[in-house]
Every structure is written in C-alpha cells, then in structure tokens.
Amino acid sequence: MIKIILSTHGKMAEGMVNTMQMLIGKEYNVDIIPFFEDTDAEDLENKFKKEISKMQTYENLLILCDLKGGTPFNIASKVSFKNSKIAVLYGVNLPILIEALTTYETQEFSEYIKNIEKNIYATLGVSKV
C-alpha cells in the first residue's frame, strides 16, 4: 500500500486538492501538510513524524513538495533520511499529483516512484503553436 502526502508553502496544497477533485472527482483525496508563515518548523516536523509513526510495515509513503530547498521539502527529507520506504518529490504540479493519485494501486513502490520521476518532465513545456 502506498500513502501520499502533499506538503507545500501556504494554501497551494489545499488549492491543488480542490482543483484535482474538479478534474478527477471527489472520491480522490490526499492528506495535506501545509506550511504557513507562522508555522513553527518543529510543528511541521512533528506532523510528518506522526504520519510516519502511523505507517504499517507493508506501507510506503510518497511526500509531494513544492520547492527544492523549501521548508516542507527540507523537513520531509530530514524525517525520511535513508528510509527506503519513503520518497520525497519536489516540484509537484497538478498533472503529477493526478498521476500519483491514479496509478499507485497498480505498481510496486520503486517502479511507481521511477515512473513519476520520469513523467514529471513530460508535464512541462512551452506551447509550440
């Protein structure tokens, strides 16, 4: 089983969930851990640790973050350091969130992560028209 958490600066995570549900339906959901201007970094770390402590032995966790080097990414990387059951992605966007939510049931964790990493580049570009 793979669990997904979306962690961003500000209301981006909440907004992405809202938009994602508009596109693929309200039956899809994802836990969010937002980081606001007045969020204490230690509180954020404790929220991640709490989620990790709830993980079952058979479970994997994918943490989707907005920005490499941002506090959500830094703390997600810290709490998952050298833990092969957890993957941290940075640069999350709407298509990759949707892919993450719609493909996790059919794949093994390492293959799932490899595919997401590969496909994220295909979600970016400039229209040639």
Partner 1 sequence: MKISVFRIDDRLIHGQIITDWISYANATQIIVADDIASNDELTKTLLKMATPDNVKLHIVKICEVKAIFDNDKSDEKVLLLVRSPKSAYDIIVSGVKPDSINVGNMNMKKDKIKILGNMWVFPEDIEMFKKIDELGIECSVRAISNERKQDVIKLLEKI
Would you count residue 81 as binding partner 1 (CB under 8 A)?
Answer: yes
Rule CB under 8 A: say whether 84 interacts with partner 1. Answer: no
Among 21, 74, 103, 123, binds partner 1 (CB under 8 A): 74
| Residue 89 CB coordination number (10 Å) | 20
Q: Is 105 in the site for partner 1 (CB under 8 A)?
A: no
Task: Please give the C-alpha separations between residue 4 and each of 26, 37, 62, 123, in angstroms, as whole numbers.
Answer: 16, 24, 5, 19
Which position among 24, 68, 110, 121 is part of the footprint of partner 1 (CB under 8 A)? 68
Asked if residue 92 lies in contact with residue 119, where contact means CB atoms within 8 angstroms, the answer is no
Chain-centre distance for alpha carbon 123: 16
Q: Applying CB under 8 A, which residues contact partner 1? A: 9, 37-38, 40-42, 67-71, 73-74, 77-78, 81
